[in-house]
Amino acid sequence: MNPIVVCDTSSLVKLQKSGILHSLPQIFEKLIIPQGVKDECRDKEIIKFLETSFVKVESVHSTLFQSLGSGEREAISLAVELNIKTVIIDDQKGWNKALKYGLEPISAITVILLAKDMKLISSVKDALDLMIANNEGITNKRYNKALKLANEKQNYSE
């Protein structure tokens, strides 16, 4: 099992739209989110998931910076406060900021790849296609890279 992780709002949405959200307890020991991330969530399925014992909601005592959206800013700040190394974040600026603070950012796509490695899903392509069908964009380059890493047939041309 992988470590405790902190997650931002947009990554939770991507995981829900890819059908992977409910596999998180089999992938990670615990999911911790800032109160601000919980407050940003509007999807009923995500809200219900956040009420499970797998998820712990924490208050952020101080934000380290003011740039980025509030979800990314609070997720990174909380990970630093709690000394949690892994943060699920998909925003490139947030990713770079997480690296600056010594964190190990992973994307929602990385979580999908982990789910396949752990045999929780049989197809990365199906999860990505579901995410796309649910209006969550992904570049052709990232789509093809994920399929290549999963040893699945690439569909989109680069």
List of residues 6+ apart from 3 with CB closer than 8 A? 28, 29, 84, 85, 86
Nearest to 94 by CA among 81, 78, 82, 83: 78
Domain assignment of residue 18, yes or no: yes
Q: For residue 33, give the CATH number of its domain.
A: 3.40.50.1010
What are 94-105's pLDDT values in tens digits? 899 999 999 999
Domain assignment of residue 54, yes or no: yes
Per-residue confidence band for 158, with pLDDT thresholds at 50, 70 and 90: very low
Domain assignment of residue 82, yes or no: yes
- Residue-number span of the structural domain to which 22 is assigned: 5-109
Q: The pTM is what?
A: 0.91
42: tokens are: 């509007």
Mean pLDDT value of segment 50-57 = 95
128 contacts 14 by C-beta, under 8 angstroms: no
Domain assignment of residue 19, yes or no: yes
82 contacts 45 by C-beta, under 8 angstroms: no
% of the chain exceeding 70 in pLDDT: 93
Domain count, the chain: 1
Mean pLDDT value of segment 48-68 = 86
